[in-house]
Structure 1
Amino acid sequence: MFISRFLFETYVCKPCASWFELDDCKNRAPSNVILEKVYMDFTKNPTNKHLMSLTRQLQWSKRRIDEWFALRRQQDKPSTAKKFSESMWKFVFHVYLAFLGTCVIIRNPWVFDTRQYWENWPFQNLLPDIRYHMVVELSFYLCLVFMQFFDTKRKDFLVMFVHHLISISVFVYCYITNMTRIASICVYLHDIADVFLEAAKMANYCKQQRLCNALFGVFAVVFMATRLGFLPLVFGRSIYYESWEVIGPFPSWYFINTIVILLLILHIYWSCLIIAMMIKAWHKGKVSKDDRSDVESSEGETEQVKQSH
């Protein structure tokens, strides 16, 4: 998975980012050994005392030094090309997972009959295609967990990290206990919404605002329908009630229900962020910066960088 991502981002995502002219290499601070040493070794946000000392040392104006630090902080932020590459990789893989899940799951007779998830459990036959689907999903989430420390830092880093750990725990637990039917359905519903989210991010990075608005609207509807509708009301009910009715009480019943409740809490948290973004978009006429996206510079610093250019 790591090798596939590296090759895809190198030979597909980066050329696409260059074609859309998303390279941010122009916003670089002028080379200065003294300021660079202060920035790397002492502070990235100099106080008035630091600025006065540097003014006397460099014979620069205070405003010029302040602009240099603003440019240097901008330079350290992830470029649009990097964020575009991350989203493009996730978009392509989520499309593949959604297509794979559709081909694997839809032809099984137990898809629409939730009681069959528990019939003859735990002695259900594990079909090779379901096993392949589970292994690919698990490897993808493991890759996300490790790469989260190297990708663009998001405001909900901790929440997303917990979500990935819970998802991996569910995969491993369901694989060991042979609850692969309901696990494959749940992860399939997760992949559908993420396709539109990553597509909306790519459109936003490419300055295609109308397309971004449309894709984000579809994502919001699909997210609410799958993660606040189908998952808790259909599959959560099946885990809570039907499993007890079909197979009776079993030791891990409390564990699996606790996991489902934790996932529901995280989905409610993200739903609140999505609703907040939809309200902002309604007033502004467009989808603004993602409330769970990387922390951007303040408006004042952004304006200061523009003026320095």
Structure 2
Amino acid sequence: MAHSLYEWLWHHEFWLPPGITWEDMQESEDVHYPQPRDLLLSIPFALILVVIRRVFERTIALPLSSKLGVKDKQRPKAQPNPVLETFYTTRCKSPGEGELLGLAKQCDLPLRKVERWFRRRRNTDRPSLSKKFCEACWRFTFYISSFITGLAVLYDKPWLWDHRECWTGYPQQVSPARGKLLL
């Protein structure tokens, strides 16, 4: 099963231009091709980013939010009601008028209390202001650092300043990092 999934995932028609197979992409001493296994490096990098984000949010963004005065509103909690909770989790979060009337009769509550219960229950699912601040702080930090890193890495490359340089020597381009040909 795993082998057939592997074969399907790395089928050459998904990844390569027509007429080229993975056998055509064998490396030699002077030619280096990207290999499918190179994509597997994205998994540990993604996990590292998740860990960095969690640490950043807890150690930097959350204390910064409290120092800047971001306060979470105290939202009233919905009273425990198993019938309404079951409907909320299994059917819908915003029932129509007919469904509200049926639920009110089933729970022996006034329609207004059932509407209030659903509004309060929906509000408890919404993220708090400090959570939103931490998310925005992480996005700002991640994107600004990615941009600055990209500029630092590409600053001395000719194709950053002149896009026609991207096609010089196509398709036998030399990788500056390895000094080998890329296809």
The amino acid across from 2:78 in the alignment is A
1:38 aligns with 2:63: no
RMSD, aligned α-carbons:
2.9
The amino acid across from 1:21 in the alignment is V
Distance in 1 between residues matched to 2:95 and 2:173, nearest whole Å: 65
1:8 aligns with 2:56: yes
- 2:122 matched to which residue of 1? 73
1:125 aligns with 2:137: no
Superposed displacement of residue 5, structure 1: 1.5
- 1:142 matched to which residue of 2? none
Instruction: Indicate if the aligned counterparts of 1:110 and 1:116 stay in contact, CA closer than 8 A.
Output: yes
Superposed displacement of residue 12, structure 1: 2.1
* Cα deviation 1:93-114 (Å, max 9, x = unaligned): 1111121122222233453233
Distance in 2 between residues matched to 1:39 and 1:5, nearest whole Å: 31
- 1:94 matched to which residue of 2? 143
Change (3 A) 1:46 1:114: closer
- 1:51 matched to which residue of 2? 100
The amino acid across from 1:2 in the alignment is V
Superposed displacement of residue 92, structure 1: 0.5
Distance in 2 between residues matched to 1:73 and 1:9, nearest whole Å: 25
* Cα deviation 1:48-90 (Å, max 9, x = unaligned): 4443344345443211211111121222233333333222212
Distance in 2 between residues matched to 1:95 and 1:47, nearest whole Å: 44
Change (3 A) 1:99 1:27: farther
The amino acid across from 2:134 in the alignment is S
Distance in 1 between residues matched to 2:98 and 2:164, nearest whole Å: 70
Distance in 2 between residues matched to 1:107 and 1:120, nearest whole Å: 19
Of 152, 156, 162 in structure 2, the residue corresponding to residue 107 of structure 1 is: 156
Distance in 2 between residues matched to 1:51 and 1:110, nearest whole Å: 62
Instruction: Indicate if the aligned counterparts of 1:110 and 1:117 stay in contact, CA closer than 8 A.
Output: yes
- Please list, as runs of the form range in 1=range in 2, the aligned pairs for 1:184-263 lying within 5 A after superposition: none
Distance in 2 between residues matched to 1:51 and 1:113, nearest whole Å: 63
Identity, % of aligned positions: 29
Instruction: Indicate if the aligned counterparts of 1:23 and 1:80 stay in contact, CA closer than 8 A.
Output: yes
SS at the partner of 2:118?
A: helix
Change (3 A) 1:55 1:113: closer
The alignment of Structure 1 onto Structure 2 pairs a total of residues equal to 130
The amino acid across from 1:7 in the alignment is V
Distance in 1 between residues matched to 2:111 and 2:136, nearest whole Å: 39
Distance in 1 between residues matched to 2:50 and 2:137, nearest whole Å: 15
* Cα deviation 1:155-186 (Å, max 9, x = unaligned): xxxxxxxxxxxxxxxxxxxxx74xxxxxxxxx
- 1:28 matched to which residue of 2? 77
TM-score (norm 2): 0.56
Instruction: Indicate if the aligned counterparts of 1:29 and 1:71 stay in contact, CA closer than 8 A.
Output: yes
1:63 aligns with 2:95: no
Distance in 2 between residues matched to 1:51 and 1:123, nearest whole Å: 66
Instruction: Indicate if the aligned counterparts of 2:75 and 2:124 stay in contact, CA closer than 8 A.
Output: no
SS at the partner of 1:124?
A: strand
Kindly indicate whether structure 1 or structure 2 has the higher relative contact order, using CA contacts under 8 Å at least 6 residues apart: 2
Q: Which has the larger radius of gyration?
A: 2
TM-score (norm 1): 0.36
Distance in 1 between residues matched to 2:118 and 2:131, nearest whole Å: 22
Change (3 A) 1:115 1:29: same
